[in-house]
Structure 1
């Protein structure tokens, strides 16, 4: 279990990485934010990159764990997709700085560390794809390319970190409803409803 100081350092790093970017944030910036000497900071962390890896790993792991729990339910594929969208958006919005660091800064990791995050991200895409394949198999969905469709849904959900305003007109849950309706019903009105 990380100590309070470890958590304080991680939270300070998230804030700095989100505000300044990973490359523009120095170890000294992090040390200053938590009231430590630079040398003392290394008692708690190995490197700035390890800190970024820890933040990104925790973020993508939370997304995966929530989606795995949704997949393990007896819900229909449609209900699972709606729940997956809602989970993704509410987690993203409630941890906006961490989500921003994951989606924008994780590319700054070295090859091996980045591969760890990429493997977990690929797993996440596979879980979304499984929902769509399940819906295809039981006749709920008509999806020609489940993986491409999963990537399209995720792309839309991920972009929320750039434009969502917590004080805006819609809550994360309401945005999730808009997204779910769009992906499940599309844009075209049913023939029977057209004038």
Structure 2
């Protein structure tokens, strides 16, 4: 006879993922035991296994939920329509906002993906590729000068993701720059550079400004 779910099943399930992500982020997936997980979630081992078959199942659920949330919110941002630049700005805002509220999940995604089995890793990589392709498509549509060609397509896209995906290492979303402003700065920097026009050209030898 199948076990029935308690009324608060979904809340406990989400709580396990949230606390497990914090634990994995703090001390690493491999150094986190089932006992550590049970303590962090304030559950017995038996109760923990009621929700997940293994530690790896928890890791997969964390990463799957995180990536799918980003994709769903990015798709919703694009569905709002508007000019390509507006869509691009909204997509970057969305990614930054999700990462800002989920720094533990983002850290675990970047550092612990390799601990999943091959099929699970492939599922995650397929989802990541879906997100990357969406952003690449927007960049190509914005590229009026034809800078993005087959040889450089991945380079441009991953430079952009490099700017926004590693913020968990240093960025405080509760500081002076909120996620939306941070995203807008990233968009401006990526599309227009830091020193526009002649200012970006090196000064002739002997005429460099003092810093």
Deviation, 1:33, is 2.1
Deviation, 1:176, is 1.2
- d(CA) in 2 for partners of 1:74, 1:40: 45
Structure 1 residues 167, 74: closer, same or farther in 2, change over 3 A?
Answer: closer
TM-score (ref. length: structure 1): 0.88
Q: Which residue of 2 aligns with 1:143?
A: 147
Q: Deviations over 1:136-180 (max 9, x none)?
A: 3xx4x6432333211110111101111112343321122112111
Name structure 2 gaps, 5 residues minimum.
202-211
Equivalent position to 1:48, from 22, 45, 55:
55
Please say if 1:126 is aligned against 2:133.
Answer: yes
Q: Which residue of 1 aligns with 2:98?
A: 91
Equivalent position to 2:42, from 35, 38, 50:
35
- d(CA) in 2 for partners of 1:101, 1:143: 34
- d(CA) in 2 for partners of 1:91, 1:167: 14
- d(CA) in 2 for partners of 1:156, 1:9: 30
Task: Report runs of 4+ in structure 1 exceeding 3 Å deviation.
Answer: none
- d(CA) in 2 for partners of 1:27, 1:82: 41
Q: Deviations over 1:72-123 (max 9, x none)?
A: 3432221122112111111110122222222222222121111111110011
Q: Which residue of 2 aligns with 1:156?
A: 163
Question: What RMSD over aligned residues (CA atoms) do the two structures have, in Å?
Answer: 2.3
SS in 2 for 1:181: helix
Paired residue total? 192
Structure 1 residues 147, 75: closer, same or farther in 2, change over 3 A?
Answer: farther
User: Residues 21 and 104 of structure 2 are in contact (CA less than 8 Å); yes or no, is this contact kept in structure 1?
Assistant: yes
Deviation, 1:21, is 0.9
SS in 2 for 1:143: coil
Name structure 1 gaps, 5 residues minimum.
none
User: Residues 153 and 183 of structure 1 are in contact (CA less than 8 Å); yes or no, is this contact kept in structure 2?
Assistant: yes
Structure whose CA Rg is larger: 2
SS in 1 for 2:51: coil
Deviation, 1:191, is 4.2
User: Residues 99 and 168 of structure 2 are in contact (CA less than 8 Å); yes or no, is this contact kept in structure 1?
Assistant: yes
- d(CA) in 2 for partners of 1:75, 1:149: 23
User: Residues 82 and 180 of structure 1 are in contact (CA less than 8 Å); yes or no, is this contact kept in structure 2?
Assistant: yes
Please say if 1:82 is aligned against 2:86.
Answer: no
Bigger Cα displacement from structure 2, 156-165 vs 28-37 = 28-37
User: Residues 66 and 87 of structure 1 are in contact (CA less than 8 Å); yes or no, is this contact kept in structure 2?
Assistant: yes
